[in-house]
Chains A and B, each alone.
Chain A
Amino acid sequence: MQASINKALSSQANSQPSTPFAEGLLLPQVATATLELIINKALALNNNKAISFAALNQKTLTLALAELSFKLSFSVDTGSSPAMVMVRSQVDTSDCTIKTSIKTLKKLKANQSLTQLIKQDELDVNGDIKIAQQFANIAQSLAIDWQSELAKHLGDVPTHKLLQFGNKITKSISATGKQIEADICEYLVHEKRLVVTRSQVSAFNGQTTAIAHEVTAISARIDKLFAKLAAK
């Protein structure tokens, strides 16, 4: 840790009139400000009162994602009411630092083992893993009633109608998508004969296996005959 601080200090010792592109455009600050706004808005809308930040007060979780040129550090301040999550792009010290990629985070979400990912060098954890787990638990426990939030702005009846309409549209899009998929399959399989059906592939595989067995049997018989001839 001390080495990294010294390195950071010495790298800052020289003036840098030509600032890196992303930094000059303040992209890390745009990203952290947006994230901070979204997270705190979500916390303000949360209906699950069981969520507690007490254990995370003044703790920092840092995410170093391979896809980003800067880190994302999440700190909690329980002094504010409600508790606030602050997002920064640089921190000197962190209670838990996770080096990974967005791809790996998706794997984690799909319940792939944490240990397995660490063994595969897809994930590197430094510090107290409990901090990361507590942050993840809070994110998973958020309960936001979007319908009542929308109703506050639009009114009950328009919100109900809007959601009904939304559901209809979603179902209709889903049905249309399935129909288009079926039509394309039919065109490719039966009209153009560019691809074969699953049953045809399976029949072909069955026949191939049968032939392979027959060839093996014949080969064995030939070997026997050769052996007999050699004995005479």
Chain B
Amino acid sequence: MSSSDQNPQASDLPSSQKTAADADTSADNSVDSKSTTHFGYKTIEKDDKISMVAGVFHSVAKQYDVMNDLMSFGIHRLWKRFTIDASGVRPGNKVLDLAGGTGDLTAKFSQLVGREGKVVLADINSSMLNVGRDKLRDKGLVQNIEYVQANAEYLPFEENTFDIVTIAFGLRNVTDKDKALRSIYSVLKPGGRLLVLEFSKPEHELLNKAYDFYSFNILPKMGELVAKDGESYKYLAESIRMHPDQETLKSMMDNAGFEQTSFKNLTGGVVALHKGYKF
């Protein structure tokens, strides 16, 4: 990737990539055409995205938790706690923690659903799943957790299986977000809810500028120093910018069939929690 790609201005990008909102107006909100999609600011063949994203996460899996704490100053723990609070989880519930990575949400859900409940930690990436499984076993959380390697677009579960599905910091890496949302809708029980915790668009311009500077100048350097992989963290910053903004994601959820969809901005909109029900 050229140096100009590191922090491109909107005008440097192809017109289809200027903003997430501009890019995500088609039926498939993450693609420019039927055969291409985004990988950060790059336009790539759809079929290549899974392996490219996999490459990023295989590379960062072992340092994932450390980097999360460093990059967010620990605030990601509060965002995840907010998600748990908003989920309305009860003892006995079945929960799918999609793109669950190293299992932060799964650990909490496992304790809250109890022995009668079940949590499925699903991730497309085997390295992340292995790190998550080791971490949860080390914490003694084994009784009600299952591990499944799965693509969010083709969930390998029966219809009407889960009370709650969460996807935290994972949706932006999915190639076809609309297909993934429809797939999630299908596996939710009537009355079940989806919670999407994802980076979003900051509410204030000043915060947006500071966030841009941090994302494109400091974050890749931190990635280089700690995870020895600056490129993956450059992808992270770019993929956040290419992800649909709050309102766009909300309408994507509406289109997938979710009802009473809503979102809450956290930390000035740096992150947003979207929630939708299946009735």
Contact = CB atoms under 8 A, between A and B. Distances in A.
Chain A partners chain B: yes
Interface of A: 9-10, 12-19, 23-26, 28-30, 32-33, 57-58, 75, 77, 79-81, 84, 86, 88-93
Most chain B CB neighbours (cut-off 10 Å) among A18, A24, A79, A89: A79
Interface in B202-242: 203
B250 interface: yes
Contacts of A9: 260, 277
Contacts of B79: 26
A24 B266 CA distance: 5
Nearest to A16: B264
A84 B75 contact: no
Contact of B88 (A24, A33, A92): A92
Interface stretch (B31-39, B47-55, B123-131, B138-146): B138-146
Contact of A79 (B111, B261, B264, B269): B111
A17 B265 CA distance: 6
A86 B267 contact: no
Contacts of B78: 26, 29-30, 33
A152 B264 CA distance: 45
A15 B247 contact: yes
A91 B88 contact: yes
Contacts of B247: 15
Contacts of B260: 9-10, 12-13
Contacts of B86: 90
Given A86-B112, A92-B88, A92-B90, A23 B264 contact: yes
Interface in B244-268: 246-247, 250, 260-268
Interface string B134-161: 0000001101100000000000000000
Given A12-B262, A29-B82, A84-B111, 14 more contacts: A9-B277, A13-B262, A15-B247, A16-B265, A18-B265, A19-B265, A32-B81, A33-B77, A33-B81, A58-B91, A79-B111, A86-B111, A89-B85, A93-B90
B204 to A, nearest CB: 11
A203 B82 CA distance: 65
B267 A26 contact: yes
A26 B88 contact: no
Nearest to A28: B85
B266 A86 contact: no
A90 B81 CA distance: 11
Interface string B185-207: 00000000000000000010000
Given A80-B141, A86-B112, A29 B265 contact: no
A92 B88 CA distance: 6
A17 B112 CA distance: 29
Nearest to B81: A29
Nearest to B111: A77
B81 to A, nearest CB: 4
Contacts of A30: 78
Contacts of B261: 15
Given A15-B246, A15-B263, A17-B203, A57 B114 contact: yes
Given A26-B267, A33-B77, A88-B85, A15 B262 contact: yes
Given A33-B77, A33-B81, A81 B140 contact: yes
A79 B246 contact: no
Nearest to B85: A90
Given A77-B112, A92-B88, A12 B82 contact: no
B58 interface: no
Contacts of A91: 88
Kindly list the 5 A-B residue pairs having the minimum CB-CB distance in the complex, ordered from nearest.
Answer: A58-B91, A77-B111, A29-B78, A92-B88, A26-B78
Contacts of B243: none
B237 to A, nearest CB: 22
Contacts of B108: 86
Nearest to A93: B90
Contacts of B143: 79
Contacts of B140: 80-81
Nearest to B143: A79
Contacts of B180: none
A152 B90 CA distance: 39
Nearest to A30: B78
15 contacts: A9-B260, A12-B262, A15-B246, A15-B247, A15-B263, A16-B262, A17-B203, A25-B267, A26-B78, A79-B144, A80-B111, A86-B108, A86-B112, A88-B85, A90-B88
B164 to A, nearest CB: 12
A160 B77 CA distance: 38
A79 B75 CA distance: 28
